[in-house]
Chains A and B, each alone.
Chain A
Amino acid sequence: MTLTDLEPTTHTIQLTLKPGQHDGDGHRVAAAAARHLGLATGRVRTAARYTVRYGALSTEQLRAFATRCLADPVLHDVTLNEAVAPVPGFAAYILVARGPGVTDDEGTSAQNALADFLNEPMDTRTQHIFSKRLYLLEHDLPTTDLRRLAEELLGNKMINRFEVGRVADGIRDYTPRPGGGAEAITETISLNGLSDGALVQLSKDNIYALNLEEMRAVRDYYASAETQATRRAQGLPADPTDCELEIIAQTWSEHCKHKEFSAVINYRDLATGEEKQIDSLFKTYIKDATSEVDRQLRANGNDWLIKVFSDNAGAVRINADSLFVWKVETHNSPSAIDPYGGAITGILGNNRDPLATGIGGARLLFNTNVLCFGNPAYDGPLLTGQLHPRRILEGVRKGIEDGGNKSGVPTVNGAIVFDDRYRGKPLVYCGTGAVMPMQFAGLDSWEKKIDAGDRIVMAGGRVGKDGIHGATFSSIELDESAPATAVQIGSPITQKLAMDFLLIAARRGLLKCSTDNGAGGLSSSVGELAGISGGAVVELEKVPLKYPGLRPWEIFVSESQERFTLVVEPARLAELLALGQEMEVELTDIGHFTNDGSLDVNFDGQPVARLALAFLHDGVPRKTLEAEYEKLAATEPKIPGLRDYTGTLRQLLGALNICSRESVIRQYDHEVKGRTIVKPLMGATGQAPQDAAVVRFNFESWEGVAVSNGILPRYGDLDAYQMSAGSFDEAVRQIIAVGGKLPNLTPGDNIFWSVNDNFCVPDSVYDPAINPDGKQKLAKLVQMCEALRDATAAYCIPLTSGKDSMKNDFKADGVKISVPPTVLYSMTAKMEDVRRAITSDFKEAGDVIYLLGETYDELGGSEFYALHGELGAQVPRVRFAEAKALYTLIGQANDGALIQSCHDLSDGGLAVALAEATFGYGCGASVELPETALPLATQLFSESHSRFVATVAPADVLAFEALMGGRATRLGVVTDDGQLTVRYAGQTVIGAPTTALRHTWSNGPVNQLLGVDELAGFGESTGH
C-alpha cells in the first residue's frame, strides 16, 4: 500500500534524443504552434521525464533501470537526478505533467518494467512512477504565450499540470501527490422540513441533478412513518446518509433512468389543433414498435430476435451456434471538456457493454463511430470553458484511435458531420459489435441469472476520484463550472487485460453473469444486478483504491474506468480468483447478493447506506412534459442562373460535409482481426468511399455482417419527422447498397437486422425563463420518434438497443449553444456470404450505369442549397412502400449477381455519387440525363432518399432491366477515358477528368487540416 511510503526517495530519469536523431514530436509542436496559435517557437526539443517514488531503490539500481529498460540505446541519452541542464540555443521550456490521480499508463508500464527488471515483488497497482514531457523552445516566448501553448496545444488544464518559464531561471518540475484528502466518514443530510427552494439548492450544490418533485419524493420517503420505523429497527439514522442520496441521484439520473423518454407528454399541433397524450416515448414508439416487428418476424418463422432493451446490449441470433451483440452509445459531455479522455472512455465504455451482456465474455468484432463537430475552421469567439472545434475534433479523433487500436478492435466505418451548433457540445457516438457463443459451459450465454448468496466481484481497474458524478453531470446542461472530477482518462491496456480475462472466464464456466461499471459506478452496476436477485450487500472497504482519501460514497459512485462487476457462485470463486492472478487482472470480492429487497452498503462493518430496492428503482416520480408544434414558414430560394455545373460539383466535392475523411480514417486500424471485407475506402486507389462496412465473423465460414450509420441533422430544421425517417432509410439503403437484404421477405430466411437508435437533443423541457422554445423542441422529438416507429414497421427491422441524451446544450457567459435535434440509426444486418458484397466503385469500361429509384423536387436542406447559404423548403421525404419494393428488387438482382457496383445517393445527390464512383480506379463515365419535368439542377443535386447509382455488365443488362422495370433509369456507360461527362438536352453540362475531381475531394478541408503535411521538414538538422 502507498501508506507505507511515507517519504520515499524521489529519483528523476530524463531521456533525451541523441544528437542527430529526428525529433518528430518537437517538429510537429513547432509547426502546430505556428499554424494554429500564430506563435513562432523556433526549434523545439522534447524529452521524456520519469519521477520514481519507490522507497528502497538505490541510485545504481535506478541508473541500470534507466539505461537498460527505459532508454533505447540507438535513440536516447540518459540523465539521472540532475537538474535539467540548459541546452544551448533553447530559451524557454514547458513541462507537461498529469494532475493528481490522472491515469498514467506510461508510468504504470514503467513500474511493470521495473518489477520485471528487479525480479522483486513490488506494488505496481498504485502510482509510484510519474511520466512527464518536457519541451524546450528556441525562442524566448513570454509566459502568457507559453501557457497558451501548454493549455491549447500540449495538454488540457482539466487533466494536466504545467510548468513554464525561462530556461535561464531554472526548470521547475512538478510531480503529483495523489490522494483524495478525505476521511472515510459518512454524514447524514437532513431533508426534513426543507423548503422547496432549499431542496433545489441542495440538489444543485451536490450535483444530484434531481428536480424539485424528485427531491420532494426523496424527502417524503424518509419522512414516512414506515421508513422511519424500518430505519429505527435497523439502527440507521433517521436522516438520509450522503451515500444514500448519492445512490438515489445516480439511479434516478436522466442518464440512467431516461425519465424524459418515459414521461407523459401532452402534444399539441398548433396548425391542425390536433392534441394527443403520449404515454412514454420509449414505450409507445420504441418498445411497442419492436414487439410488433418481433411478432411479424416470428409469424414468418424468423425467431432470431433474442434480447432487446433489457441488457447492456441487444442480441440477435447469427446461426445455431452464435449470437451477434450490438450497442451504440454517446459520450458527449466528457468530450466537450476533455475531448481525448471523453472519446477514449466513450469507446472503451461502449466496448464493455457487449463484453458484459448476459453472462459476459463476447468477442468484440468491430467498432464504428459517428462524430458531430463545429466547423474546425471556426473563427468566432469562444465562451468560457469552451474548447475550439478543431481541438475537440483532434482530441476525439485521437481518443478513438487509441481506444480502438490499442484494444485490437477494428474501426470499420463511421461518419463526421459538421454544423456550428455542435461547437458547444460535440456528439460522440461509439458503436461496438461482438459475437458470443449461444452457450457457455452449457448455459445460455445471453441470460443474466443471480441467486442470493452469489458473490459480487469487482474486476479490472481501481477506484479513484475520477469520474465522480459522470451520470448526473451528463444529465444537466454543460456550463463553465464543469467539475474536474467528471473527467477521466481511459486505460486501454487495463481494459484489454480484463477483456482477455473475461473471455476465458466465461468459457470455463466461472461466471454466472457480469455487467460493466459505467455511469454511476458500483452504485448503478450493483444496484441494477441486485434487482435480479432481490438485494445485495457491499463491503466498501474491500474496494481497492488508486490512492487513499476517498469518502465511502465516493467509492460507491466513482466511475473510474475499465471495471466490471462479476457475479460468481461461491464454489467457483477460488478458481476465478486464481485465473485473475495468472492473467494479472485485479479481482476483489466485495460482497454478495441477497433477496431481502434492499441494497446494503457497509464500510468497515458500519452501515453507510440501506435502501429499499422498490423505492430506488420505482420511486422516481413520473414527469409530465408539454410539446407544441408550430410549423415554421419555409420557402424555396431562387438560385440565380446556374451555368457552371462542373464548378458546382467541384464545390460540393470540396464541401466540409462531403469531402474525404481519409486523414482521419487511416489513423484508425480498420482491419485488425483480418476479417474486414468492405473497408471505409476501397479500390485500386484506396480512395473510393463505401456505403457500409462488411465484416466476416470468422475464418471458417463466409457469413458476416454489414454495418451502417444514418444521420441527417440539417433536414431537422425543416421537418423533424422526415429527418428521422430519412436517417433510418439512409442506414437501410447503405446496407442494401453493399449487398444486404431486407429481413423477413421469405419464411425462415434468418437474415437478422439489429438497430440502435441514439437520440441527442437539446434541452426539451419547457421553461419560460431558461428554455422558452422547449415545447417546440419536444414536439420535434415526438415527431422523430413517430418516424422511427413507422420506419421499423415499414421495413420490419427491429430496434435492439439504444440511448437518449437529452441535455446537449453548452451554457456560459449568458449564452447557450444547443445542438440541433439529432438522431443516429446504427444498423447491422447479416450477410450470408461476404464474397457477394458489392462495392461502390465502377469496375470496368462498358458497364452500364443506372439510377435506381426516383428523384423528386426535394432540394430542401441539401448541400447544394447550403453552398448558396439557403435552406429551402422541400425536404426529402421517405416513401416507405416504394423504397421497400426497390430494396427487394435489388436483393433479387444481387441473388442473380447482376450488379457490379452500387453506391447510395446522399449528400450532394446524383452528381456527387457519380463522381465518387469513379474514385476507385480512375474510370470515366459518360452519362445522359433524361429530359423530364425536373430541372437539371434538381436531377443533379436533389437528395431524394432511397436511390442508388449502380452498374451492370453488358451481358446482364437484359436480365437486369427485365427485373427492375421502371425502377431503374439507364444513365450511360463506364468509360476508360478518365472523364466524367454528363449531358442534358444535347449539351455537355459536366465535364471533368475524374482524377481532378478526386483531387478536389481528397484535398478538401478535413484532409487539409489533418493531413500529413509535416513531412517536408523531415530530415532537417535539429540543432546539433
Chain B
Amino acid sequence: MAQDSQKLVHKVQLPAQDGAVRALVLTGFGINCEEEIAAAYRLAGAQATIVHLNQVLHGAVSIHDFDVLTFPGGFSFGDDLGSGVVLANKLRYRQTGPGGRTLLDDLKQFVADGKFVLGICNGFQVLVKLGLLPNLGGDVTPEVTLTHNASGRYEDRWVRLRVNPLSKTPFLKGLDVLEVPVRHGEGRLVVPDAATRGALEAAGLNCLSYIDAAGDGTSEYPHNPNGADLNCAGLTDPTGQVFGLMPHPEAFLSAFNHPDWARRRRQNPGAPEEGEGLQIFRNIVEHIAQKHSVLAS
C-alpha cells in the first residue's frame, strides 16, 4: 500500500530560499491546530509546510529537510486509549524503511542534528508518551505521563504561566510571564517519584508553571487548571531543543484573541496588535536563523 500511494502523493515543494527557516507542521488522524501553528511560523518569518503524517511515514516528505518539527494539538485518534498514545505508538513502531526503521529513529537523528521539536497540547502528550520528553535518561523511554485533569473534565480557559529562569530552551528566551489558553482534558502531569521530580527541577526542565494572581506557582484550581505535579505546564528535554506544553501559544497570535482585549486596547490604544503567544515562534525562528547565518559566514 505504501509503495503505491507514494507515487501519487504530491511531492511537497521545498523552500528554495537559502537561509530561510523551514518549519514542518504535521497533521492528519485528528490533529486539528495545524493551520494556526503554520500561521504562527509564517508571522514569525519562517516558511511553514503542513503535511499529513502519512506523507512522512510513506517517505514522500523527509523531516530532515526542515529545521523545526511541530506536533500540533488536537485529538489524534480521538484520544482513545489516552491522549497521544496511538500516535506515539505509530511513531515508535510503524516501520517506515528497511531494517525496521521507524519515524522515532528519524526523530532521534533530527534532535541529534541540533534541530528543534515543538509539541503543543496533544503534540506535547505525544512527545511525553514517546519519551522524547523529558528524556532525562537519554534513552527515549517514558518517564512521566499526562493524564486526566483533576477536575475530570475538559476545559477551555486562559491561564498565566511563568518561565523557569533555569530553562535554557531557545523557545522561551527572554520570556518571563505569559497568558495563553488551555484547552484539554488530559493535561495533568504525573511525575512518578521524587527522584524524577528532583532531576527535572535541578535541570530546569519544568520550564513553565501555572501561576496565581499574585504571580506564584500554584496547585489551586482554576489557576492550575489540571492539578499538574510541580504546577508544570511544559517540559523541555535536557538539550532544550525539544519543548512541549499543554497551553496553546498559537491561539494568541493576535492581541484580539485575549478575552480582555477590548478593555486593554481602550487603556493602551497604541499597544502592538500582536499576541503574546507569537513570541515563542519568533524566538525559535530567530534562533535558527542566527544559527544559519553563523554557519553561512
Contacts and interface: CB of A to CB of B under 8 A. Distances in A.
A932 B142 CA distance: 72
A745 interface: no
A262 to B, nearest CB: 40
B85 A22 contact: no
Given A493-B78, A674-B39, A841-B263, A500 B183 contact: no
A105 interface: yes
Interface stretch (B61-69, B238-246, B250-258, B279-287): B250-258
A75 B143 CA distance: 11
B58 interface: yes
Contacts of B89: 69, 113, 116-117
B148 interface: yes
Contacts of A69: 81, 85, 89, 93
Contacts of A684: 259-260, 263
Contacts of A837: 256, 262
Given A500-B27, A578-B4, A674 B250 contact: yes
A125 interface: no
Interface stretch (A318-326, A580-588, A717-725): A580-588
Interface string B154-174: 111110000000000000000
Interface string B124-157: 0000010000000000011111011111111111
Contacts of B262: 682, 837-839, 841, 843, 901
B271 interface: no
B178 interface: no
A1020 B28 CA distance: 39
Contact of A582 (B5, B74, B141, B142): B5
A581 B42 CA distance: 31
Given A73-B142, A672-B32, A582 B58 contact: yes
Interface in B188-225: 190, 192, 221-222
Contact of B52 (A109, A500, A679): A500
Contacts of B42: 699
A25 interface: yes
A493 B87 CA distance: 13
A674 B95 contact: no
Interface string A559-594: 000000000000000010011011110000000000
Contacts of A493: 29-30, 75, 77-78, 80
B36 A699 contact: yes
Contacts of B144: 74
B35 interface: yes
Given A75-B190, A106-B81, A669 B256 contact: no
Contact of A681 (B10, B39, B149, B259): B259
B75 A406 contact: yes
B263 A920 contact: yes
Interface string B67-99: 000000111011111100110011001110000
Nearest to B277: A674
A686 interface: yes
B30 A921 contact: no
B86 A117 contact: no
B27 A666 contact: no
Contacts of B234: none
B296 interface: no
Nearest to B7: A578
Contact of A113 (B28, B86, B155, B221): B86
Interface string A674-702: 11110101111010000000001001000
Given A72-B145, A1018-B227, A109 B77 contact: yes
Interface string A4-39: 000000000000000001101101100000000000
Contact of A116 (B4, B39, B93, B150): B93
Contacts of A70: 81, 85
B206 to A, nearest CB: 16
A583 B28 contact: yes
A117 B81 contact: no
B5 A24 contact: no
Contact of B151 (A497, A682, A1015): A1015
Name the residue in B78, B90, B263 with the highest tally of chain A Cβ atoms < 10 Å from its Cβ: B263
Interface string A485-506: 0000001110011001000000
A835 B157 contact: no
Contacts of B43: 699
A106 B261 CA distance: 40
A110 B81 contact: yes
A786 interface: no
A582 B54 contact: yes
A1014 interface: yes
Nearest to A117: B93
B152 A25 contact: yes
A481 interface: no
Given A578-B4, A683-B259, A667 B81 contact: no
A662 to B, nearest CB: 9
A243 interface: no
A677 B257 contact: yes
A676 B183 contact: no
A673 B43 CA distance: 15
A699 B253 contact: yes
Given A671-B156, A839-B262, A920-B260, A406 B183 contact: no
B142 to A, nearest CB: 5
A790 to B, nearest CB: 34
A105 to B, nearest CB: 5
B259 A682 contact: yes
Nearest to A131: B80
A581 B1 contact: yes
Given A575-B8, A669-B183, A112 B75 contact: no
A994 interface: no
Nearest to A110: B81
B152 A578 contact: no
B9 interface: yes
A405 interface: yes
A272 interface: no
A989 to B, nearest CB: 28
A224 interface: no
Contacts of B74: 408
A508 B253 CA distance: 30
Contacts of B90: 112-113, 116
B196 to A, nearest CB: 10
Nearest to B72: A408
A660 interface: no
A497 B145 contact: no
Nearest to A584: B54
B244 to A, nearest CB: 16
17 contacts: A25-B148, A401-B154, A406-B78, A406-B79, A493-B77, A582-B5, A582-B9, A582-B52, A583-B52, A667-B156, A671-B181, A683-B260, A834-B256, A835-B273, A839-B262, A841-B263, A844-B267
Given A106-B78, A109-B78, A493-B80, 11 more contacts: A69-B93, A109-B80, A112-B77, A113-B86, A405-B183, A493-B30, A500-B28, A677-B256, A837-B256, A920-B260, A1015-B221
| The 3 residue pairs across chains A and B that have the minimum distance between CB atoms | A408-B32, A109-B80, A674-B36
